[in-house]
Structure 1
């Protein structure tokens, strides 16, 4: 009986000893001083929208300064400060074994530059979030004009238009050919989306953001089969929004294409006039290895 009590007492003493060592170690670590700040920013875009020195300044303003005891540095406050930057998508803060504060950040990825009907501008990311512009940086991404709202909270119709812009932008930036082919994409409530190419004076109508692969395949086929023979100046308007057809209007002639308001995400259902060419899709062999621009 006495032996069992001695064994139990021994385990209790050992337990208290381990706890004491733990708290002493934690206290010692907390008393250590921050030896530096290291910021790493991962990004998908080629351009840099976040300033590392500016981020270090934000960390310092929130209390993260070299030479300060680690126990007095509030990582939650620093994270809250950094989250005020709309270009920072994700944040990870921690101290490494060398007492250096590591800030691992992920930058938002802009996929489109959008201009509103009132002349204001913003970037759109892959999550359909608004990002502020930077006058010192111009991203090489699709440019949209004619967005109908400047409000942060959008109506249902305007949200649908924004989702179409997002779909079109994501399709375009994944293809090096179309990304270099398109100079600008205009939106009009009555006509939908219209592409202005970098080469030639054609207006290319795609309607809404649905069935984009089919629309762009027909457009590519038209350039290969028709424009390659007639030249860039032969047609003033090309319409690929109607399923299975390409409608083209010779340059210098009125459109003649029946139009009606194009709802985002919905087809007009209006029968087009006689198409210049039937559907005969010529698919590009590769997104990255594409023939030169027409």
Structure 2
């Protein structure tokens, strides 16, 4: 008898909580949105986008949020819009219990600015995704130039960021630039030293440092870690000798 009573009590509790949850959701869906809040995680990178950019990205598509019934706000459409943006690595859109639409965005990290042989310049991020330059937000990163061949339309490649491995979507020249820039960026010294990567007529990588007038031939990307370690040692010993 006691066991049956406990079972009945649990059933009533579960049923009551379920009814309360349904009632709460139904009530919230009839509420109107108080405002839109945007939070951006920059991962210690320089700014490419800000809160105003995200709001304009949403509203210029004709999506109204503030003052609209929560049940009419197209959360899935907003999420898809953010996912397609070349500056955004991850995003989520949620409606809070306070009737506020919360947008969380993680910005991509620009690694190198590419000045191709033909076409417009762009950024490669730390995963190999292509991003357009961001008007109003100049970024100080390594530059890559020379005989860098890209596909017919770089703009079509912006969506490569949605690919799980954007590096594999790059042309061979861009893969070469990405690998070299990533390796140089791993160490504080070489990151500070590297001014520009250049692909010469033989398809070899050259490094132009910020100090001195020499051009350092890196060649291809094989044994790149060893080459950079030797470069680090060379400059460090040179500075110690001068000191």
TM-score category, normalised to shorter length: 0.7 to 0.9
Give the direction of change, closer, same or farther, for the CA distance of 1:218–1:62 in structure 2 (3 Å limit): same
Comparing both structures, which one devotes a greater share of its residues to helix?
2
Match of 1:174 among 166, 186, 197: 186
Structure exhibiting the larger radius of gyration computed from Cα positions? 1
Q: Distance in 1 between matches of 2:240 and 2:106?
A: 44
Give the direction of change, closer, same or farther, for the CA distance of 1:55–1:190 in structure 2 (3 Å limit): same
1:245-256 alignment to 2 at 5 Å? none
| Structure 1: gaps spanning 5 or more residues | 1-10, 232-291
Corresponding position: 1:100 with 2:100: yes
1:168 Cα offset (Å): 1.4
Equivalent residue for 1:87?
87
Give the root-mean-square deviation of aligned CA atoms.
3.3
Q: Distance in 2 between matches of 1:41 and 1:188?
A: 39
Equivalent residue for 2:149?
148
Q: Distance in 2 between matches of 1:81 and 1:195?
A: 38
Q: Distance in 1 between matches of 2:14 and 2:212?
A: 81
1:209-228 alignment to 2 at 5 Å? 209-224=221-236
- Tell me if structure 1 keeps the 8 A contact 2:110–2:123: yes
- Tell me if structure 2 keeps the 8 A contact 1:206–1:215: yes
1:227 Cα offset (Å): 8.2
Equivalent residue for 1:56?
55
Taking structure 2 as the reference length, the TM-score comes to 0.77
- Tell me if structure 2 keeps the 8 A contact 1:120–1:150: no
SS at match of 1:168: helix
Give the direction of change, closer, same or farther, for the CA distance of 1:65–1:207 in structure 2 (3 Å limit): same
Equivalent residue for 1:5?
none
Question: Residues 46-96 of structure 1, C-alpha deviation per residue, up to 9 Å, x if partnerless?
Answer: 321113112123334453412111111110111122234211111111111
Equivalent residue for 1:78?
78
Match of 1:159 among 171, 175, 182: 171
- Tell me if structure 1 keeps the 8 A contact 2:45–2:110: no
Equivalent residue for 1:36?
35
Equivalent residue for 2:210?
198
- Tell me if structure 1 keeps the 8 A contact 2:92–2:103: yes
Equivalent residue for 1:265?
none
- Tell me if structure 1 keeps the 8 A contact 2:40–2:50: no
Tell which has more relative contact order, 1 or 2 (C-alpha 8 A, sep 6+): 2
- Tell me if structure 2 keeps the 8 A contact 1:82–1:88: yes
1:159 Cα offset (Å): 2.4
1:202 Cα offset (Å): 0.8
SS at match of 1:66: coil
Give the direction of change, closer, same or farther, for the CA distance of 1:22–1:221 in structure 2 (3 Å limit): closer
Paired positions, count: 223
Q: Distance in 2 between matches of 1:136 and 1:15?
A: 54
Equivalent residue for 1:130?
130
SS at match of 1:190: coil
- Tell me if structure 2 keeps the 8 A contact 1:195–1:203: yes
| Structure 2: gaps spanning 5 or more residues | 1-9, 158-167
Give the direction of change, closer, same or farther, for the CA distance of 1:14–1:163 in structure 2 (3 Å limit): closer
Corresponding position: 1:121 with 2:121: yes
